[in-house]
Amino acid sequence: MPWKGEKDPYKIWLSEIILQQTRVKQGLKYYENFIKAFPTIEKLAKAKVERVYKLWEGLGYYSRCKNLIITARNIVNNHHGKFPDDYEQIIKLKGIGPYTASAIASFAFDQPFAVVDGNVFRVLARIFGVKKAIDLPEGKRHFNNLASQLLDKKKPGIYNQAIMDFGATVCKPAPNCIPCPFNKVCKARLNESIEELPIKSKKLAVKKRWFYYIVPEFQGKFGIIQRLEKGIWHNLFQFFLIESKKELGQAGILKEAERKKMLSKNGYQLVAVSSNRNQRLSHQIISGKFLRVKLKTSGKEKKDIIWVNSAGVKKFAFPKFINQYLREEGIV
């Protein structure tokens, strides 16, 4: 992986932000594309927001992208384009928590800060038989203290990378205990509690949401708007959205669209209705469908609408839920 052994704090930071909530195999392609497009933090800071979001498209958790832009501009404008080399200054940057700050401080600047990610939690919980929940403050403090005690203060970057890699290749969720150098002292193996560790206090409750999109067409162009609501897909683009707590039929969707002034009665023709679609996020399931309509007038009085043809649609960043529809309908 290209970020291993990297000393440039910008590249380390970029890789860590991309790999939050993202598998390495998926994140690698995005990392390479970002480095190619923005080889320096100055290039990223000067980039148009739309271009950055387009490159991020498909990675999810878009608040990461928003914070990436904010932090890049902060470093260029307030730190003369130089990444802070002190942990306390690094952790003050937007979107950077203890884990990412420790990674940057140790990998780029050889500062003695232990990195504790999911792999490290698993290794320490099993070898030392720690039964504290990793998602509660007490548990996090315990693991951070333990990791700091074990840290090689002279070579913190190499040590941190080693224990993370050990968790990724040997002490995996389904571990390979035979060649493990700790198999004679690992408390989880000795107590037959490998599958129980690490412990989480609770599972996230999964929320069900219904998203119904009205896809407006006028003279060969599609009307899109930016999603400004807080929460998922913030700042991405979409079509008119009817969100419901329950499943709606076609008539109910159109009636609601008229009530919300998205469509005017008798001012459109229904062209097509997609099948039901689903996308599971970490804590919610999005279900819904798309209703494609042809408008009799453009509705230009709605100033937040951007009218684009198929080629123009490709320039904007959409959530995966909408991108799949666009590809299947041959719009992009």
Is residue 16 annotated as a catalytic residue, yes or no? yes
Which two tokens mark 273?
């209705």
Give CA–CA dist 187/76, Å, rounded.
Answer: 48
Tell me how far apart the alpha carbons of residues 331 and 327 are, in angstroms, rounded to a whole number. 6
- Torsion over CA of 44, 47, 49 and 55, rounded to 10 degrees? -70
Closest listed residue to residue 85, CA positions, set 178, 8, 148, 162:
8
With vertex at residue 232, the alpha carbon angle to CA 91 and CA 134, rounded to the nearest 5 degrees, is 50
Residue 20: other Cβ atoms inside 10 A: 15
Q: What is the largest CA-CA distance in the chain?
A: 76
Closest CA to 320 of 246, 238, 245: 238
Beta-carbon contacts of residue 324 (< 8 Å; ≥ 6 apart): 277
Alpha-carbon distances, residue 114 vs 119, 121, 254 (angstroms): 13, 12, 55
User: CA 76 to CA 83: how far, in whole Å?
Assistant: 9
Give the whole-angstrom CA distance, residue 57 versus residue 145.
37
Choosing from 16, 42, 196, 256, which is the catalytic residue?
16
Which residues are known catalytic residues?
16
